Structure 1
Amino acid sequence: MACEEGLVPPVLRGRIDELEPEALRAADAADAIDARLAAWPAWARARFTLKPRIGSSARGRVAGADGRVDRETLGAALARLAERGGALLEPWLERRADFSVQLHVASEGVTVLASLEQEVAPSGVFLGHRGEIDSRGRIFSGHPAEESLREAAAGVAVAARERGYVGPCGVDGFSFREPETGAEALRPVVELNARFTAGTVTAGLIRRALPHVKRALGLGPGERLRFRFRLQDAEPPAPSDRGFRVGFGPADGPAAPSLVFDRAPES
């Protein structure tokens, strides 16, 4: 869908290979993958991944480096990837920041609910979110590419609606170091999560806390507060003297969720 909508950055065009289940079940599947890798430039072969077309939280990925995938690992993964609807073979980019735009798709249109910066482990596992909120409850990632992220996500959600999907969803993307120039670039769409996501929950918690935050910090029109939500935080960050921490009742304690709001430092 991202390719159809023109949302793949130039450096990746022609370097994301879709492998159908039949190709993954073929006797020469591993050799065919080697041939695809051989056609890539050196930077793309240096580190890459073979991942399920339909998956979650980085499960089922096979990592490769220097143009090679361990044959034993690959052989064990091919049938599993075929069962999950196929796979994508793509270069691994040096990520700068991860994002998630939350939307609701209805028969009459698409609504953007929030855009968030994600905190993600090196393996790709979700850890939490951060961003900014204004006095009206609008939630932003705070990144300079904010509008590009929202526009791209809305376009994908509209395409999903045209294919019959209705309900909540999240569109993930990221910024990365462009391997040939070193400049920061944007991949606004990596995947569509056609379901309630952790970002949906985060946005709901933030909006639920907003009246209390306004009373504590005096958030007014034209102002924004920073926030940081962690799903599990063994050592929750203490808010500054310009901040406010939301309690989670019996859940408070070691490894409990944490949600902290803070005013940006005065310049």
Structure 2
Amino acid sequence: MKVFLPNLGFEDDLAGRPLRPTVETAAAVAELGINMSLLANPGDAVAIPDGFVPDDLPPFLRDIEFIRESQVQDSGSVTLVPWGWSPSALQLAIACDMPPEHVPKSSVVRYVNSRLFSAQFDVIDVPQECTSPFEVFPFGTLCRDLEQWRQAVTMFRQLGYMKWVAKPQVSHAGRNRLIASGDNLNSQQRGWLNRNLRHPDGVYLEPWVEPLEEAGLQFEILASNSDEAATTRLLGVTGLINDPVGRYQGSVVYAAGHGVERWSRAIAHGHEVCRAAAAAGYQGPLGIDCFRFADPSGNHLVTRLCNDVNARFTMGRVALPLRRFLNSEPFGIWLHLTGRRQKSDTDVETTAITHNATDVKIIRTSPTTVSGRSVRAQTLFMTGPDAKKMVQLLTGQEVSGLTDGAAF
């Protein structure tokens, strides 16, 4: 039996940062983790914290078992499938008698998820018919001290970018980063920078640009049973729906084969990344984020082939099994609604009717109550010509990479 472990605090565990979430945050993370059930098959189980049993699962998920995290070790022979291979997940796998060759080492997982690793592959793809400063200058750079940081900020300014973002060696979901302009920092910003520069590998600095289209490349690295090289497979491409500051709001799920040609250069580059990860000893899910943006002149669209390397599951990967609901549609949209944006099934239907967006099929993909309490977030999967319009109505966000209801 497979047991999926939604350890969404994976990066904090990996980086050795103490996990002290508020009650609200811990509850939101636990509820979000229930979405890993989309990856499960009948007979599989999802491990959840005490007090977070989903009450009203959608019909297609009712054959999935939910067990307490404390029960995993006592569930007999299981194959643990964590969100990410953190040290605590590794310890649980050992306790479950999983063969060590099926589990990557913590040092390897930490390295492949680091900026030190991804910096090697941070390449800008420039169309042949144009010239760009990114043919000469790197997009981002590792900074290990304040002098290197100042030099990078000066370089970005010369390229036409005043605003920049600094990221620690391990981070996730647009959190724990510093966004600023120029080199005149306030005390809080300087404190963040000094604190993170204490890491031996420093921080990763890059210009702040506006993505015009974003995608997640969903790979799987399968370890070999012999001396042969590991196998790398592309499972699919998902579009990213983010808010203006880069926080995840949903995924565009393409039918098998769709979206591949449009991101072919990034996919080829992604296979190189995966081969390097496999050579380092990693096995398991690996997601790569890439995006298109206007170069400093504003005249050319260029592609950042490897924005982030996530050696773990991603929400885009979790969304891939929803292809089963596409039928003949080229794409569907998996949408996360939180806080005031949450709506009952009736409210969603009313919104569609009121705004003449009725040519859409909406499937609820998460519970509305957990252990008798209303959830803090819900997920919906939408297909049909009006799916894109419904995203705009429910979130106010545009969906890129789709034209006239068809996937590129």
TM-score (norm 1): 0.77
Kindly indicate whether the alpha-carbon contact (under 8 Å) linking 2:243 and 2:249 is maintained by their aligned counterparts in 1. Answer: yes
- For the residue of structure 2 that corresponds to 1:161, the secondary structure is helix
Choose 1 or 2 for highest CA Rg: 2
RMSD: 3.0
* Alpha-carbon distance change, 15 to 250 in structure 1, aligned in 2, over 3 angstroms: closer
* Alpha-carbon distance change, 32 to 153 in structure 1, aligned in 2, over 3 angstroms: closer
2:250 and 2:184 map into 1 onto residues whose CA distance is 31
1:177 Cα shift?
A: 0.9
Kindly indicate whether the alpha-carbon contact (under 8 Å) linking 2:143 and 2:205 is maintained by their aligned counterparts in 1. Answer: yes
1:190 Cα shift?
A: 0.9
- For the residue of structure 2 that corresponds to 1:94, the secondary structure is coil
- Point out 4+ residue stretches in structure 1 off by more than 4 angstroms: 1-6, 235-242, 252-255, 263-266
1:230 is aligned to: 335
Kindly indicate whether the alpha-carbon contact (under 8 Å) linking 1:101 and 1:172 is maintained by their aligned counterparts in 2. Answer: yes
Residues 188-197 or 175-184, more deviating = 175-184
> 1:110 and 2:227 equivalent?
no
> 1:95 and 2:217 equivalent?
no
2:292 is aligned to: 175
1:238 Cα shift?
A: 4.3
Residue identity over aligned pairs, in percent, reads 17
Structure 2 stretches of 5 or more lacking a match?
A: 1-116, 126-131, 224-229, 386-403
Deviations 1:145-194 (A, max 9, x none): 32123222222111111111100110011100111242211112111100
2:185 and 2:262 map into 1 onto residues whose CA distance is 37
- For the residue of structure 2 that corresponds to 1:164, the secondary structure is coil
Kindly indicate whether the alpha-carbon contact (under 8 Å) linking 2:253 and 2:319 is maintained by their aligned counterparts in 1. Answer: no
Kindly indicate whether the alpha-carbon contact (under 8 Å) linking 1:93 and 1:176 is maintained by their aligned counterparts in 2. Answer: yes
1:11 Cα shift?
A: 3.6
Kindly indicate whether the alpha-carbon contact (under 8 Å) linking 2:123 and 2:138 is maintained by their aligned counterparts in 1. Answer: no
Structure 1 stretches of 5 or more lacking a match?
A: 24-28
2:263 is aligned to: 146
* Alpha-carbon distance change, 14 to 112 in structure 1, aligned in 2, over 3 angstroms: closer
1:73 is aligned to: 188
1:17 to 138, 141, 150: 141
> 1:194 and 2:311 equivalent?
yes
**What is the one-letter code of the residue matched to 2:332?**
F
1:8 is aligned to: 124
1:86 Cα shift?
A: 2.2
Kindly indicate whether the alpha-carbon contact (under 8 Å) linking 1:52 and 1:84 is maintained by their aligned counterparts in 2. Answer: no
**What is the one-letter code of the residue matched to 1:76?**
G
Kindly indicate whether the alpha-carbon contact (under 8 Å) linking 2:122 and 2:306 is maintained by their aligned counterparts in 1. Answer: no
1:166 and 1:120 map into 2 onto residues whose CA distance is 28
1:88 and 1:46 map into 2 onto residues whose CA distance is 16
- For the residue of structure 2 that corresponds to 1:68, the secondary structure is coil
TM-score (norm 2): 0.52
* Alpha-carbon distance change, 81 to 141 in structure 1, aligned in 2, over 3 angstroms: farther
More strand, by proportion:
1
1:18 Cα shift?
A: 0.5
- For the residue of structure 2 that corresponds to 1:54, the secondary structure is coil
